[in-house]
Copies of this chain bind each other. A is one copy, B any other.
Amino acid sequence: MKLTLEALEVLDAIDRHGSFAAAASALYRVPSTVTYTVQKLEEDLGFVIFRREGRRSVLTPAGSLLLERGRELLLAAEQIVESAHQVNSGWESTLNIAIDTVWDINQFYPIVAQFQQLNSGVQINLSAEVMGGSLEALIEGRVELVIGGPPPVSSTQGIKYKQIFTAQWLFVVAKDHPLTKVQLPLSETDIKAYSAVTIKDSSKNAPIMAHRIFDRQVTLRVASLEHKIIALVQGVGVGFCPRHRIQQQLDNKQLVALKIANPAEDSPHYCSWRTNNKGKALRWFVDKILQQAQN
């Protein structure tokens, strides 16, 4: 049972060029060498790969399977070497980034575009996460970088983080919502009378924490802040939103911010990344994000 990649390349060449002779020529070898390689492989593996039909050889079923799957193997081998080279040169082969929904993903695309111009060969994977979900992805190693998430639990090793902005949470409702008729500031009781819109934590084992929304309210759970804003504009419910994401809706009066008795505190948001990744791409993005945050 001693498969070699080189032998698979020979099989591939035979099939691709149609004959032992043509394969030999393509491989800059002599025909007898090809014969030798095939025979040796057949002996090593213990089954016949080509049934010799006169001068034309055809693949046996087992040989056919070997070739087909073998090609995948060759491809995978090449990709591994490729990736290793990239890592060696300092660039990761892939970089997985999670963007918290609190942060506007549109702000991020220009940075990605800038990165692409470096021609690093690094594959960037973006995912949108919500609240706990982004950190969970970071801790479990599914992503290397989280933008706009909450601060990591302090005990977590191997993760660095830095605050990049503070979100001001406003309590907003649609322009014609009944609560706009109520005297300000709104009490907890006023609010409880109406259904709320919240963002569903994308972490798998979401902790039971009623972030921003008081208990026992009927709530609509949506998957992202974009959806939440739409739901609020439509008047489906009420809820808190970060000011910077709804400035437009406030300006054109689609949403109204209402003063309430117990206003939500500002929440800090962070850029968090894994320290075991020493690649240039991660470094580049972190630098870029922190630099942008200073302005």
Contact = CB atoms under 8 A, between A and B. Distances in A.
A141 interface: no
A208 to B, nearest CB: 14
A85 B3 contact: no
Nearest to A66: B84
B84 A62 contact: yes
B3 A77 contact: yes
Contacts of A4: 4-6
Size range of the chain A interface in the assembly: 20 to 34
Contacts of A217: none
B3 A81 contact: yes
Interface string A111-154: 00000000000000000000000000000000000000000000
A65 interface: yes
Interface string A43-77: 00111100000000000111101100110110011
Contact of A87 (B3, B62, B89, B93): B62
A66 B278 CA distance: 16
A163 interface: no
A88 interface: yes
A149 to B, nearest CB: 26
A1 B65 contact: no
A19 to B, nearest CB: 22
A219 interface: no
A1 B66 CA distance: 23
Nearest to A47: B88
Q: Is the interface of A mostly helix, strand, loop or mixed?
A: helix
A66 B80 contact: yes
A4 B48 CA distance: 23
B62 A73 contact: no
Given A73-B76, A76-B73, A278-B61, A45 B84 contact: yes
Interface string A82-94: 0111011100010
A5 B65 CA distance: 19
Contacts of A87: 61-62, 65
Which of A76, A83, A85, A88 lies at the interface centre, i.e. has the most chain B CB atoms within 10 A of its CB? A88
Interface string A148-165: 000000000000000000
Given A3-B5, A4-B6, A69 B61 contact: no
Nearest to A90: B61
11 contacts: A1-B81, A5-B5, A45-B85, A47-B85, A48-B88, A62-B84, A65-B80, A66-B81, A66-B84, A69-B83, A76-B76
Given A61-B87, A63-B84, 4 more contacts: A45-B81, A66-B80, A69-B80, A73-B76
